[in-house]
């Protein structure tokens, strides 16, 4: 039955950048659907709080410290999850950062820092977890893209380039790994109020312009992503791969 296919009981999901914001929201959504969780970020302290919230839902949770841009960290992260749970059914590549500056003034070190987390980090996690999923002959990878994967927004050249890359990487992996029964999709959030977007939200002119541009008339909340991530993590989406599902209150329709 279709609603049973949406459940994630007994599945193991790994969510990067899960200590706050959208990653925390998606981790809780996956746990509500039945999954056990491994939650990852650079600071363990906030992850412990999220792990407590997951356990309060009756699921197991392993908090792990890792910087997704570092190959050694990603390898240890995967070993840690396998050591605890023995498998990885779902990977959500959510960890991401931004740096805002006019392109003509954009420092190279910031360009490289953003690309290393948002694009190289996604690649490393896909490669390492992908090897596990290939052995399992099953898996779901969900990358977090953005409106800026496909539209131009001023002053975020590195972020937009990284998110365009994430959308393309998603398609390449979907094509390569379809034969192993691994589906690779992305979620493209519109504007959600988190630490990442707080500077925009605090700027009354930017905030008003963004809000007026969203057909649904409001910014998203982490709750708004739960349905999309659970669907793409579940058997209900088994014939969907290589897609970017935009969760944007209608932004791209306008
Ligand atoms: N908010 C939006 O409107 C929006 C829109 C489109 C796309 N997105 C995307 O959604 C994702 C989450 O964004 P958010 O708004 O929730 O951001 P956020 O509130 O700033 O959270 C970012 C998360 O990523 C972790 N992180 C950052 N760098 C990391 C690294 N090198 N290794 C491991 N973890 C790292 C952070 O924890 P630590 O700092 O402890 O590592 C934190 O848990 C990002 O990919 C972002 O680009 C957001």
Taking only the tens place, the pLDDT of each residue in 32-61 is: 999 999 999 999 999 999 999 999 999 999
| Torsion 125-5-243-221 (CA) sign | negative
Q: Where exactly are the structural domains of the chain? A: 2-246
User: How buried is 46 (Cβ within 10 angstroms: 0-12 exposed, 13-18 middle, 19+ buried)?
Assistant: middle
* 67 CA closest ligand 1 atom index: 32
pLDDT at res. 109? 98
Any ligand 1 atom below 6 A from CB of 67: yes
- State pLDDT tens for residues 98-156: 999 999 999 999 999 999 999 999 999 999 999 999 999 999 999 999 999 999 999 99
CB 238 within 8 A of CB 2: no
Any ligand 1 atom below 6 A from CB of 23: yes
Residue nearest to atom 36 of ligand 1 (CA): 17
pLDDT at res. 250? 98
Any ligand 1 atom below 6 A from CB of 41: yes
User: How buried is 67 (Cβ within 10 angstroms: 0-12 exposed, 13-18 middle, 19+ buried)?
Assistant: middle
Average pLDDT of the chain?
98
Any ligand 1 atom below 6 A from CB of 184: no
Rounded CA separation 209/200 (Å): 10
The helix (run of H) or strand (run of E) holding residue 143 is: strand 139-144
Residue nearest to atom 19 of ligand 1 (CA): 21
Distance 3 CA to ligand 1 centre (A): 30
Any ligand 1 atom below 6 A from CB of 114: no
Rounded CA separation 167/188 (Å): 9
Task: Categorize the per-residue pLDDT at 25 as very low, low, confident or very high, splitting at 50, 70 and 90.
Answer: very high
pLDDT at res. 162? 99
* 93 CA closest ligand 1 atom index: 45
Q: At what angle do helices 44-56 and 21-32 cross, to 10 degrees?
A: 20
Active-site residues, by number, are 159
Class of domain 2-246: alpha beta
CA distances from 153 to 37, 180, 209, 220 (A): 34, 36, 13, 18
* 117 CA closest ligand 1 atom index: 31
Residue nearest to atom 46 of ligand 1 (CA): 96
Block residue for tokens 């007026």: 212
């Amino acid at each position: 039955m279709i609603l049973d296919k949406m459940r994630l009981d007994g599945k193991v999901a790994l969510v990067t950048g899960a200590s706050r914001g959208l990653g925390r929201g998606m981790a809780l959504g996956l746990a509500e659907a039945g999954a056990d969780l491994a939650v990852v970020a650079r600071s363990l302290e906030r992850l412990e709080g999220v792990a407590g919230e997951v356990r309060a839902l009756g699921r197991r949770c392993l908090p792990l410290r890792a910087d997704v841009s570092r190959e050694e960290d990603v390898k240890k992260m995967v070993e840690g999850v396998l050591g605890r749970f023995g498998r990885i059914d779902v990977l959500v590549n959510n960890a991401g950062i931004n740096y805002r500056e006019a392109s003509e003034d954009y420092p190279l070190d910031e360009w490289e820092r953003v690309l290393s987390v948002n694009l190289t980090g996604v690649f490393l996690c896909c490669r390492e977890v992908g090897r596990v999923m290939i052995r399992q002959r099953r898996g779901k990878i969900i990358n977090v893209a953005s409106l800026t994967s496909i539209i131009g927004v001023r002053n975020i050249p590195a972020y937009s380039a990284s998110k365009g890359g994430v959308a393309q990487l998603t398609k390449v992996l979907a094509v390569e790994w379809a034969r192993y029964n691994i589906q690779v999709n992305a979620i493209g959030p519109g504007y959600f109020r988190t630490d990442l977007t707080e500077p925009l939200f605090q700027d009354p002119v930017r905030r008003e312009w963004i809000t007026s541009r969203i057909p649904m008339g409001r910014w998203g909340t982490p709750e708004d992503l739960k349905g999309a991530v659970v669907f793409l993590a579940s058997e209900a989406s088994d014939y969907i791969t290589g897609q970017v599902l935009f969760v944007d209150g209608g932004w791209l329709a306008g």
